[in-house]
Amino acid sequence: MSVEKKTRLEVQKILKKVIENGLSAFEHEGCEVMEFANASFQKADNIVLLNLIGTKRAGWQARDFSPYNARLVARENWIEEQKWQIHCIKKRSTSNANIQTTAEDIADDLVTWFNGRGCDELRTYGMANLRIDSDAVIVYNDNSDLYQKRAVFTVKIQVPKELTFEQDVVDAIIPDVEPI
């Protein structure tokens, strides 16, 4: 895993591990975490899907010029904010409906996880998420013959990135212009 510039798949792998730890902490056994691949998952049950819906640069952190092996190396640091949509899908059977966990329960537990221990776990990888509003969970009903629900919320993760390249000089470049 690259420390300097985590790719989308590296962040997804970390996020998957953090979600699995959260599901385990809240005792949601049998939930599978995978990448979002299709808008309509028919007959899916106990599944959490990860979908990267956007990235933006949150800002520059630092710029550094330093000698390295008789060369001048430039290093740029910035923070990239990634928006990950988390989909929790759960079937609801008609029998024992009172004691069954719903998709909303799983989503609410994951929001709680990301607002506490999950954020701390992301920090061990050099990343962190912004606080999630507990009212931001949106619930969709499936109109198929199987009664399943999809609870969706968004996690904004700030990922530090670094670019290192060789720099010739750090002198100011004066344009070659004729005086007026």
Residue 85 has pLDDT above 90, yes or no: yes
Nearest to 52 by CA among 106, 3, 14: 14
Q: Beta partners for 33?
A: 48
Confidence of residue 146 (pLDDT cuts 50, 70, 90): low
Residue 81 has pLDDT above 50, yes or no: yes
Helix (H) or strand (E) holding 112: helix 103-114
Residue 4 has pLDDT above 60, yes or no: yes
| Least confident piece of the model among 11-25, 39-53, 137-151, 163-177 | 163-177
Residue 128 has pLDDT above 90, yes or no: yes
pTM (predicted TM-score): 0.78
Residue 161 has pLDDT above 70, yes or no: yes
Pick the residue with more confidence: 92 or 121? Answer: 121
Nearest to 6 by CA among 126, 173, 110: 126
Strand 47-68 to 32-35 pairing: parallel
What percent of the chain has pLDDT above 70?
80
The average pLDDT across 155-166 equals 86
152: Cβ contacts below 8 Å, ≥ 6 apart: 85, 86, 87, 88, 107, 137, 138, 139, 140
What fold characterizes domain 8-58+80-155?
A: STM4215-like (3.30.2000)
Residue 116 is predicted with a pLDDT of 94
Residue 32 has pLDDT above 90, yes or no: no
What percent of the chain has pLDDT above 90?
39
| Least confident piece of the model among 69-83, 95-109, 114-128 | 95-109
The average pLDDT across 60-84 equals 80
The average pLDDT across 136-165 equals 82
Nearest to 52 by CA among 111, 118, 115, 8: 8
Radius of gyration of the chain (CA): 22
